[in-house]
Amino acid sequence: MAKMTPLPTNKYLLLLSIVIGHSLLGGYYAGTRPEGAGWRFFSWHPFLMMVGMVGLMGTATLTKKRMGYTNTKLHGMIAWAGLMSSYAGFYVIYQNKNTMGKITIPLSTPRLDWPCWWVRPCWEWRGECFYIRILD
């Protein structure tokens, strides 16, 4: 088995700039779709999800590849920030659905009239499931 070597600083900085740049530009681009819609409250959803899952989680992965105790701790903190950014993106879509009159369905709802209700799981983490209504 090959021995692991730390990621060199020049490669780390190059990859870091690509990941962060891609997440910021991609998140902004996704947030301003459809063409001409501009920035609105809903735009925070794709932006925060892109920054959280691509930018911060990617940065956390690259930081872990640098090896060492400090980088391992930093990896955990950055990954936590990525998770929180993604949760913030989830919160935006949840609030947007409430504002638009779409009802969110918690897991404990006993009444699901098929085919009237179509649900899909969005997140399942530590035993918590969130379901959202996707069709009226």
The sheet with strand 128-135 has its strands ordered as 104-106, 128-135, 118-125
Can you give the pTM of this predicted structure?
0.72
Instruction: Report the distance separating Cα 93 and Cα 42, nearest Å.
Output: 7
According to DSSP, the residues that pair with 61 across neighbouring strands are none
Residue ranges of the domains in the chain? 9-100, 103-136
H or E segment and range at residue 129: strand 128-135
Tens digit of pLDDT per residue, the chain (136 long)? 667 788 889 999 999 999 999 999 999 999 999 888 899 999 999 999 999 999 999 999 999 999 899 999 999 999 999 999 999 998 998 888 888 887 665 544 445 444 444 444 444 443 444 444 444 3
